[in-house]
């Protein structure tokens, strides 16, 4: 099988192999199996599982992946040509590849004469023999073979005759694909567009590209390669990979489908791209870039008042695609740059009926800008913003009121610091006074507040703090600097963020904590109405 014949462009995913070589990324075998299933759901044509001869983790992956069912993707194994001056039967890597049980294999071979001499320390003729012997061996075993022509573009620029001889050797041996690699990632777009047509002119074997991002051109180079006749692109989810990474499939795939009008995924699968992108980031334990094209949380976020005013009339004014096409969604931010349009959009999002010409509306906008001038940042704390708007328009009152709180920090004879919080709150006409300890003052505050409210609002036990961030806003003030605290909270069905600002980190934390609890109770009450 040479890809999916119903597709214009074949997607080859190497997140599990090349992507795992990125700094800070270490997939377990179980992680790789989970990602493989997610990639199959997305509809990529090939999933490169790893190098079975290189480490026990990849051996385990290929052993376990046989037990799974894939509907769209072909699992491939990666390896190199046989080593110089030995026979195929003596090469343990190739034997491990056969033992992996895959039906498709990607073989990397040297294309740049400089690498043949310096890295392999062999002759140009022996390198050609290594490529031919390896591909012929695998074809004889019934495998589909993809030949990765390593350093092809650098090799072509230095010695085009030899680079082409390598491709012809792979073709003569029966390779099903010729994949042109920009391994150092320094090739420019105009070089791609001038070199690839010369390859298409001498072979009928379908071409692919495997491009790195060291000059920031991996995605654009891949698109130009497709424009010049390549039928396969290799890349990774979120552009993970060694050094500056690989071509980012999360930017490539929608550009191929929505900009070039070519199919590279089965029908309806593009809408799951954002979910897959965030899923892989989560498993890799890597931050997801907010401004990542198409799939970033901020890819369709609008802040300027003029922009939002136009968006309300027609989303095409400031969006190049409908975000839902890639499974993302539009966000409008409210900040000191906001105008009336931003507030109206957020009000609509929160199901608030606001008269755009109402003096109260303009008063609320001024209050928001004043708060942001003090250091509040509502664009990252939608829950605090919704509470603020509902209070401003008389649609919400807090579920409890603080009477007083006291925090005690004690360092005992065992050199341990113990945090204790005492809180007195009023709910309705009843006062609750509780004490609780915690791992730190904020944790103690959280525990004490929960303890105080649990009797009246037992649903609070479902909520927990999932993230806590502190930023110093005016560091030149030293220890008296103002800080902003962002708290992310979640329950089994939702996740929300709140903000607090003060010169006192405990006070800022309390503000964010109170908003978090009030928001959860407000949403719970709304569901029950």
Residue 174's alpha-carbon distances to 77, 112, 140, 142, 165, in angstroms, are 18, 21, 10, 11, 14
Taking the C-alpha atoms of residue 202 and residue 65, their distance in angstroms, rounded to an integer, is 38
Give the H or E element holding residue 425.
strand 417-427
Q: Which of 506, 490, 24 is nearest to 240 (CA)?
A: 24
Question: What are the boundaries of each domain within the chain?
Answer: 10-284, 301-372, 401-528
Residue 22's alpha-carbon distances to 16, 69, 212, 232, 240, in angstroms, are 11, 28, 12, 23, 6
Taking the C-alpha atoms of residue 316 and residue 313, their distance in angstroms, rounded to an integer, is 9
Taking the C-alpha atoms of residue 64 and residue 60, their distance in angstroms, rounded to an integer, is 6
Q: Which residues neighbour 378 within 8 Å (Cβ) at sequence distance 6 or greater?
A: 333, 334, 335, 368, 371, 372, 384, 385, 388, 499
Task: Give how far the C-alpha of residue 331 lies from the chain's centroid of Cα atoms, to the nearest Å.
Answer: 18
Residue 15's alpha-carbon distances to 1, 38, 203, in angstroms, are 22, 12, 29
Taking the C-alpha atoms of residue 46 and residue 62, their distance in angstroms, rounded to an integer, is 14
Tokens 């401004």 sit on residue: 291
Q: Which residues neighbour 395 within 8 Å (Cβ) at sequence distance 6 or greater?
A: 352
**The CATH number, out of the four listed (3.20.20.70, 1.10.530.10, 3.30.450.40, 3.40.630.10), of the domain defined by the range 10-284:** 3.20.20.70
Are 441 and 506 in contact by the 8 Å Cβ rule? The answer is yes
Strand segments, DSSP code E, in 4-73 are: 10-13, 46-50
Residue 406's DSSP bridge partners are 422
**The CATH number, out of the four listed (3.40.50.920, 3.40.250.10, 3.30.160.270, 3.40.190.10), of the domain defined by the range 401-528:** 3.30.160.270
Tokens 């060291």 sit on residue: 214
Taking the C-alpha atoms of residue 469 and residue 484, their distance in angstroms, rounded to an integer, is 8
Taking the C-alpha atoms of residue 409 and residue 431, their distance in angstroms, rounded to an integer, is 25
Are 149 and 167 in contact by the 8 Å Cβ rule? The answer is yes
pLDDT in tens, the chain (529 residues): 444 558 999 999 999 999 999 999 999 999 999 999 999 999 999 999 999 977 888 999 999 999 999 999 999 999 999 999 999 999 999 999 999 999 999 999 999 999 999 999 999 999 999 999 999 999 999 999 999 999 999 999 999 999 999 999 999 999 999 999 999 999 999 999 999 999 999 999 999 999 999 999 999 999 999 999 999 999 999 999 999 999 999 999 999 999 999 999 999 999 999 999 999 998 998 888 889 999 998 888 777 667 767 776 777 888 899 999 999 987 766 655 556 666 677 677 777 776 665 777 777 777 777 777 777 777 678 888 888 888 887 888 899 999 999 999 888 888 888 899 999 999 999 999 999 998 889 899 999 999 999 999 999 998 988 888 888 887 666 667 788 898 999 888 888 989 999 999 999 999 999 999 999 999 888 755 5
Q: What angle do CA 204, 208, 209 make, to 5 degrees?
A: 140
Residue 418's DSSP bridge partners are 410
Angle between helix 29-42 and 56-65 (nearest 10): 50
Taking the C-alpha atoms of residue 189 and residue 173, their distance in angstroms, rounded to an integer, is 30
Are 474 and 482 in contact by the 8 Å Cβ rule? The answer is yes
Residue 332's DSSP bridge partners are 302
The DSSP string of 252-296 is HHHIIIIIS----S-TT-GGGHHHHHHHHHHHHT-PPPTT-TTTS
Structure tokens at 302: 């609008």
Q: Which residues neighbour 106 within 8 Å (Cβ) at sequence distance 6 or greater?
A: 48, 76, 77, 78, 79, 145, 146, 147, 148, 179
């Amino acid at each position: 099988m040479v890809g999916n014949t119903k597709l214009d462009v074949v997607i080859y995913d190497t997140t599990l192999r090349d992507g795992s070589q990125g700094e800070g990324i270490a997939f377990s075998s179980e992680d790789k199996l989970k990602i493989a299933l997610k990639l199959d759901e997305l509809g990529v044509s090939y999933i490169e599982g790893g190098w079975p001869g290189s480490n026990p983790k990849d051996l385990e992956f290929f052993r376990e992946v046989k037990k799974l069912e894939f509907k769209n993707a072909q699992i491939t194994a990666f390896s190199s040509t046989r080593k110089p001056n030995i026979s195929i039967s003596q090469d343990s890597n190739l034997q491990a590849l056969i033992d992996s049980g895959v039906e498709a294999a990607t073989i990397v071979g040297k294309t740049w004469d400089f690498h043949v001499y310096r890295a392999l320390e062999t002759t140009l003729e022996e390198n050609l023999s290594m490529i031919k012997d390896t591909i012929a061996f695998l074809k004889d075993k019934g495998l589909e073979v993809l030949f990765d022509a390593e350093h092809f573009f650098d090799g072509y620029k230095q010695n085009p005759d030899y680079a082409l001889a390598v491709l012809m050797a792979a073709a003569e041996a029966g390779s099903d694909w010729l994949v042109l690699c920009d391994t150092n990632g320094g090739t420019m777009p105009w070089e791609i567009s001038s070199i690839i047509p010369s390859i298409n002119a001498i072979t009928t074997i379908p071409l692919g590209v495997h491009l790195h991002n060291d000059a920031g051109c991996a995605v654009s180079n891949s698109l130009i390669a497709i424009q010049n006749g390549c039928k396969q692109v290799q890349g990774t989810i979120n552009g993970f990979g060694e050094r500056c990474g690989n071509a980012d499939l999360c930017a490539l795939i929608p550009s191929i489908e929505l900009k070039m009008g070519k199919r590279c995924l089965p029908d309806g699968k593009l809408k799951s791209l954002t979910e897959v992108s965030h899923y892989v980031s989560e498993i890799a334990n890597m931050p997801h870039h907010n401004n990542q094209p198409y799939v970033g949380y901020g890819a369709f976020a609008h802040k300027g008042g003029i922009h939002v005013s136009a968006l309300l009339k027609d989303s095409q004014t400031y969006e190049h695609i409908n975000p839902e096409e890639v499974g993302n969604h539009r966000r409008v931010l409210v900040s000191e740059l906001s105008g009336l349009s931003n507030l109206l959009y957020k009000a609509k999002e929160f199901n608030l009926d606001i008269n755009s010409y109402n003096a109260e509306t303009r008063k609320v906008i001024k209050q928001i800008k004043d708060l942001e001038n003090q250091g509040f940042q509502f664009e990252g704390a939608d829950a605090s913003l919704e509470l603020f708007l509902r209070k401003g328009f008389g649609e919400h009152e807090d579920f409890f009121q603080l009477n007083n709180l006291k925090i005690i920090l004690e360092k005992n004879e065992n050199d341990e610091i113990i945090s204790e919080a005492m809180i007195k709150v009023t709910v309705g006409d009843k006062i609750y006074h509780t004490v609780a300890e915690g791992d730190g003052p904020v944790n103690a505050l959280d525990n004490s507040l929960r303890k105080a409210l649990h009797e009246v609002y037992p649903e609070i036990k479902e909520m927990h703090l999932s993230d806590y961030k502190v930023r110093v806003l005016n560091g030149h003030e030293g220890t008296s600097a103002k800080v902003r605290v962002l708290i992310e909270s979640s329950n089994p069905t939702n996740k929300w963020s709140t903000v607090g600002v003060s010169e006192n980190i405990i006070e800022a934390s309390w503000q964010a904590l109170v908003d978090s609890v009030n928001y959860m109770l407000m949403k719970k009450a709304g569901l029950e109405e």
